[in-house]
A = this chain, B = another copy of it.
Amino acid sequence: MPFDDIDTTIPMLGEARIPTPIQGWRKDCQRSFVSNGERVTVEVDPGKLTEMIQAGKDLPSFEKAGPRSKIYFDPSKLKCALVTCGGLCPGLNGIIRATVLELYYGYGVRHIYGIRYGLQGFIPEYGHDVIDLSPDMVGNIIRKGGSFLGSSRGPQNIDQIVDCLERMNIGILFMIGGDGTLKAANKIADAILERGLKISVIGIPKTIDNDIYMVSRSFGFDTAVDVATQAIRAAHNEAEGYPHGIGLIKLMGRYSGFIAATATLAQQDVNFVLIPEVDFDMEGPNGLLETLRKRLEHRGHAVIVVAEGAGQHFFLSATEKHDPSGNVKLHDIGLYLKERIPEYFREKNMKYSLKYIDPSYIIRSLPANSNDHVFCSFLGRDAVHAAMAGKTKMLVGHWNNHFVHVPLEASSGKRKQVTPNGRLWQSVLEATGQGSLKND
């Protein structure tokens, strides 16, 4: 990614002057704090690094996350709010829990509010109540998937949201959500600045697809891959179980195929993976249909994994639709394949048995696995540390094995994607042997 033009400075609400109470409650333990000067480079290529420094450039880098020795907010007077937006994702409850525990036990904050059902929760007309959050209340929520606070899709009026924050006298707003939510967070932070308020807005990037720009890993992804392999095993058993059996699985991935590609490496029973980043043909001698037919002829069965955003060019003539969040509504490539493949085999007068599996809702609403849970714990705690230190308009990300602060402006509106000639996709090609699926 080209970082030359990115400003990685994190905006501050003011100077952090108050000694952190974290020190206090554990006298016998030495705590270590992170200073604002500690940073993590984005680039790890020694050649490029040397070049940049010799050219007198600053190395592209992010501020390291973690507790600071001085904080901006007075915990005894502070009120905080949490909101979760958009689709469900494994780990939401882990982040809610970690945020509440760190605020309460780490800093002694006693007024923590849960905004219900996403951005709707800020708007009076919806009539959703606000939840008083305490450690007792969130202690066990990680046993469940979903979001303890509820969620909703779609934008809401920014001014009404800021009105609500003012009315509730909120000092920190934690927003857990995807690209649309991070954009909204940016606008909310701008409106706050315009009104001259001192409210920190901290984003925690949620995308089960792992496609947030400037963030090397997003929570829930590891769990998603884990559960997706169950569907692949099922599809494989169905495919092997019948003459010319085809198992077709649609997985999440609107603009990036990370889940499809990684799940394929985790459960190597897949013969064709289709992702948004790599174009493919349906028809023609090298197209999916004919390549599939040949495989059935030689091997008797086939498993196909398709990311939901793959092959959208097949629908170019169709009209564009949007979902309540304003996301372009994708045409359903899964259902398209489910119809076109049988049609092709009927044309070719070849018997087949196709089974279609769409495990998306099962995947996204399960609890986080251990790995994701540890990750969510850090995300939630580091969001608190950053906010208490007076930082705002940022999200908590992860680079080169460190948690870092990423300015909202640097990330929102762009996407991370699978690189067709990178290691991940090359390994998928190796594992599947699927070839290019292109005629030219």
- Measured CB to CB, the residues of A under 8 A from B are 26, 28-32, 37-41, 44-47, 49-50, 53-54, 58-59, 61, 66, 88, 102, 105-106, 117, 120, 126, 128, 140, 143-147, 150-152, 216, 222, 225-226, 229-231, 233-238, 240-243, 262-263, 265-268, 286, 353, 355-359, 361-362, 365-366, 369-371, 373-374, 377-378, 381, 400-403, 421-423, 426-427, 429-431, 433, 435-436, 438
Contact = CB atoms under 8 A, between A and B. Distances in A.
A378 B222 CA distance: 17
Nearest to A422: B32
A31 B426 contact: yes
28 contacts: A26-B435, A28-B435, A31-B426, A39-B45, A39-B46, A41-B49, A53-B54, A102-B430, A128-B243, A143-B143, A143-B144, A146-B237, A146-B238, A146-B240, A225-B371, A233-B366, A234-B361, A235-B361, A266-B374, A355-B361, A357-B361, A377-B427, A377-B431, A378-B427, A381-B427, A400-B401, A401-B401, A403-B423
A379 to B, nearest CB: 12
Nearest to A357: B361
B241 A436 contact: no
Given A145-B234, A234-B366, A365-B237, A374 B262 contact: yes
A194 B425 CA distance: 41
A28 B241 contact: no
A34 B240 CA distance: 37
Contacts of A236: 146
Q: Interface centre among A44, A265, A438, by most B CB within 10 Å?
A: A44
Contact of A45 (B31, B41, B54, B266): B41
B46 A50 contact: no
B44 A430 contact: no
Contacts of A233: 144-145, 365-366
A222 B140 contact: no
Nearest to A28: B436
A147 B366 CA distance: 24
A401 B423 CA distance: 11
A300 B50 CA distance: 58
B361 A229 contact: no
A52 to B, nearest CB: 9
A373 B430 CA distance: 16
